[in-house]
Structure 1
């Protein structure tokens, strides 16, 4: 069986002149988006020479970007193979969803307690922006970006720097799994209904209900995303309610 080769990725040289971010950061962003969009597939080799040629950057820049992606859990460095796109096991992905369920349920409950009416209205608006993105048939990146807005408002209203730090640590690895879940047929539209139900509980200032609905939302996403990773025999998926 032949080893998958790195997908061709282009970096627009005209945009490089306009973007103030360091070149290394731009390369990290390009590779991250390619992984999220599955243009770089799980287990695929990231050959330095091919990336240098396709991105038009130095080998040093590529190596620095790959090292950063490795620290973020998006890339694995495998002996005799070099860098490959990380391929989470069923157990690893399951653990991420369990952490998400516990953490996000807590964040939603805190939002109910601390957020003002204006923040609640913004949370609802963020859900409707997400719904519009889904209805418009936006790609995975567009849909993810609109859902990120929901989380930004949620974290702001919860008012905890600790929550923000924990979410930031999980964000990229969760993005890959979230993209897998939202790409499944019907999942994005189901997510709209689940988020609207969460916002309804938030508007009623019912912290317990909002937290339970959040856990149920993540449990549904988990079953979708983990379906193809699930071994023939495994423990049933349980996440905190």
Structure 2
């Protein structure tokens, strides 16, 4: 089935909210287990998959900074939140027999490997899921940028952007504008110029410079992660052919 797939190696970008379920905060074990099952489907088809988690279900660095906290400190707290999410996802994956490695940009050897590019690629080649945690290890950079950076470093074929409750990119918020139009394909520069909520500008620029396509899809529909990796999901593709 790998021969039928559009992409061989992908980076799945999950928001923190994607792990929170309906509550919108914390970690919902049922949701995490569901996502782990979908990731296993991708691996079982002979594809290589790495994951980047957000941390917004636990802490948002920008929110803390907006309330007077030192921005760098707030961002480091957000990085630690992504580690918590990554460990939860790792546990769910290993419970269903998927070998998984968490690699952190900030060293914490007791619970995870430090991020080493060559080791990450080797894990993927050995059919292990690699979860990149702690962002880039630097404040002022989002986990969107982490996904773009890691995808470039490991030479991923695409970034799969799983969204909650929306099946692609629209010209307006479909929740408040029923007449909103969904895009099937966008150029990187269109996303930047139109201020569309796909990724932040730094992340989009990285993808544009490295020609990494971004597939935006609804992660709440079971089976969509595999469909996105196969290139058959109903969503929006940014860049690519």
Q: In proportion to residue count, which structure has more helix?
A: 1
TM-score by length of 1: 0.23
Q: In proportion to residue count, which structure has more strand?
A: 2
